[in-house]
Amino acid sequence: MKKLAVFGGPRTVPEGMVKSWPPLSKDDRKAVMSVFDSNILHGTGAPNAVALQKEFAAYIGCKYCLVTNSGTSALHMAVASLGIGPGDEVIVPAFTYWSTAAAVLHHNAIPIFVDIEPDAFCIDPKLIEPAITKRTKAILPVHIHGMPCNMGPIMKLAKKHKLLVIGDACQAHGAKSDGKMVGNIEDTCGFSTNRSKNLSSGEGGLFTTNNENAYRVASMLREFGEVVVHGEDREYNAYGMGWMYRAHEFVNAFCRSQLKHLPENNAKRKEFAEFLTASLDDIPGLKGPYTPPRREPVYFSYIVRFCPDELGLDVPMGKYKAAVQKALAAEGIGTGQWQRVPVPAQSVFKDMQGYGKGCPWNCKHYGRKFKYRGEDYPRTIKFIAEHAYLSAVHPPNTMKLMKLYVEGFKKVMSQPEAILKLIAEADKQAKK
Ligand SMILES: Cc1ncc(COP(=O)(O)O)c(C=O)c1O
């Protein structure tokens, strides 16, 4: 049995082997430099902005797309363009990046949180109905870690209660639920294209819809509440509240160049993820993610579950997880924690620190009092405690790295006594 790297043995993954995301090419450079040479740096009617919108809409299969300067701005447009506003309630999952809920608050609507599925990590459709009140206007499912939500029951519920559906697909470009791409199922949807995302432009976002009115309203929100028509004289009249959510042409050109490789990059992520999951099936102590039927994830993050019971170890989850992560890190296998508490347990909700002075939650006409408690979302708490993401399960890394990952998992997991030793060392350290 090979000595673990954490105790001075040889490391499994050679130093410098892991490559970062996104893969960059000469074509990306050419695309960005062509903007530089064109001298058209800005504008919602600029050539790369217009072309990117057309190309992303074609990829998703929807009618309209607007490019924005972040996923958060795309989500805000997705909320506001459907007429959701002060006092309206929007149902969101407790397990997400808090930007999802911020997009609701940005329009003075109120996020109402719901827990995740018992066997996966998206919003549980069964828990949505009990959260619906007479003020509920929309459901905002988040396709998290690249996993599409169970959209069939969500759309049925929305129809039954006459609710709108807004998608957060910031982590799920190309994911499908019941064979249909996210971003083309919901009434409106927001995508992020920040550095880490499946479609990356450094920073940016994309709004999609099939609803012409939402598209029209979102276009105004993106540009100060004005109607700006490319090639026509500007009216300089704001029809309502607006923001400055325009994207830069360098970013648009880069995004277009990256979009060309999205299908092949997603296919690679899937190949790596399926290999890892199948391998982990036979390695006690660590497991890959469960994919429910009729859902096609794009593995924005590849997540692993820590299972001390499979090794017969009766130790607290937190200590086991920390010890295994430490041992894996020494082998050159990076893991990380994404989110530490349910979103409603974050200070902004617990303390209701929005715009200040209790606003927006204390607005008189909202008609009810709100209270957020993290402990109301036990599945999210358990999920966060038991899981971590595995770094670099994406191109330009190759199957060679995935095979070394599996070698490293086997090495660490076959030495439970070494894991116990790490736990004992951590305990000793904590007592000092
Ligand atoms: C689920 C989710 N929603 C929203 C966002 C916000 O996107 P951005 O950072 O581009 O504003 C992100 C990414 O950061 C995200 O992961």
- Dump pLDDT digits (tens) for 149-163: 999 999 999 999 999
Which contacts of 324-330 are long-range, i.e. CB under 8 A and separated by 24 or more positions? 324/285, 324/286, 324/412, 324/413, 324/419, 325/388, 326/6, 326/422, 327/4, 327/5, 327/6, 327/412, 327/418, 327/419, 327/422, 328/408, 328/409, 328/412, 329/6, 330/4, 330/5, 330/6, 330/11
Q: What is the mean pLDDT of residues 373-382?
A: 98
Percentage, residues of the chain above pLDDT 70: 100
Percentage, residues of the chain above pLDDT 90: 95
Whether residue 360 has a cis bond before it, omega within 30° of 0: yes
Q: What is the residue with the minimal CA distance to atom 4 of ligand 1?
A: 99
**Choices 3.40.50.720, 3.40.50.1100, 3.90.1150.10, 2.40.40.20: CATH for 5-15+262-339+382-431:** 3.90.1150.10
CA separation for the pair 274, 289 (Å, rounded): 10
Q: Which two tokens stand for residue 149?
A: 């939500």
The reply to whether ligand 1 has any atom less than 6 angstroms from the CB of 194 is yes
Tell me how long the chain is: 432
CA separation for the pair 417, 303 (Å, rounded): 25
Interval between CA 143 and ligand 1 midpoint (Å): 11
What sign does the dihedral 387-391-395-399 (CA atoms) show?
Answer: negative
For all residues of the chain together, what is the average pLDDT?
97
Helix and strand totals (H; E) in the chain: 14, 14
The reply to whether ligand 1 has any atom less than 6 angstroms from the CB of 205 is yes
Q: Which two tokens stand for residue 217?
A: 């309203």
DSSP 88-108: -EEEEESSS-THHHHHHHTTT
Residue 365, pLDDT > 80, answer no
Ligand 1: which of 95, 192, 301 to mutate, judged by most atoms within 8 Å of the beta carbon?
A: 192
List the one residue out of 254, 257, 250, 252 whose CA is nearest residue 39. Answer: 250
Q: What is the mean pLDDT of residues 46-68?
A: 98
- Please write the tens of the pLDDT for every residue from 282-324: 999 999 999 999 999 999 999 999 999 999 999 999 999 999 9
> Could you tell me where the DSSP H helices lie in 81-211?
99-105, 125-128, 151-161
Interval between CA 235 and ligand 1 midpoint (Å): 33
Q: What pLDDT, on the 0 to 100 scale, is given for residue 357?
A: 86
CA separation for the pair 100, 305 (Å, rounded): 25
Interval between CA 167 and ligand 1 midpoint (Å): 12
Q: What pLDDT, on the 0 to 100 scale, is given for residue 366?
A: 76
Residue 432, pLDDT > 90, answer no
Q: What pLDDT, on the 0 to 100 scale, is given for residue 368?
A: 81
5-15+262-339+382-431 and 26-261 share one CATH topology? no
The reply to whether ligand 1 has any atom less than 6 angstroms from the CB of 190 is no
Q: What pLDDT, on the 0 to 100 scale, is given for residue 218?
A: 98
Q: What pLDDT, on the 0 to 100 scale, is given for residue 49?
A: 98
- Please write the tens of the pLDDT for every residue from 172-214: 999 999 999 999 999 999 999 999 999 999 999 999 999 999 9
- Please write the tens of the pLDDT for every residue from 101-134: 999 999 999 999 999 999 999 999 999 999 999 9
What sign does the dihedral 18-21-24-29 (CA atoms) show?
Answer: negative
Interval between CA 98 and ligand 1 midpoint (Å): 8
Q: What is the mean pLDDT of residues 346-355?
A: 92
Q: What pLDDT, on the 0 to 100 scale, is given for residue 237?
A: 94
Q: What pLDDT, on the 0 to 100 scale, is given for residue 369?
A: 85
Question: What pTM was computed for the model?
Answer: 0.97
Class for domain 26-261, per CATH?
A: alpha beta
Local confidence band at 81 (pLDDT 50, 70, 90 cut-offs): very high
Ligand 1: which of 72, 104, 195 to mutate, judged by most atoms within 8 Å of the beta carbon?
A: 72
Bridge partners of 111?
90
The reply to whether ligand 1 has any atom less than 6 angstroms from the CB of 97 is yes
Residue 62, pLDDT > 80, answer yes
The reply to whether ligand 1 has any atom less than 6 angstroms from the CB of 172 is no
The structural domains of the chain, with segments of one domain joined by +, span: 5-15+262-339+382-431, 26-261
The reply to whether ligand 1 has any atom less than 6 angstroms from the CB of 70 is yes
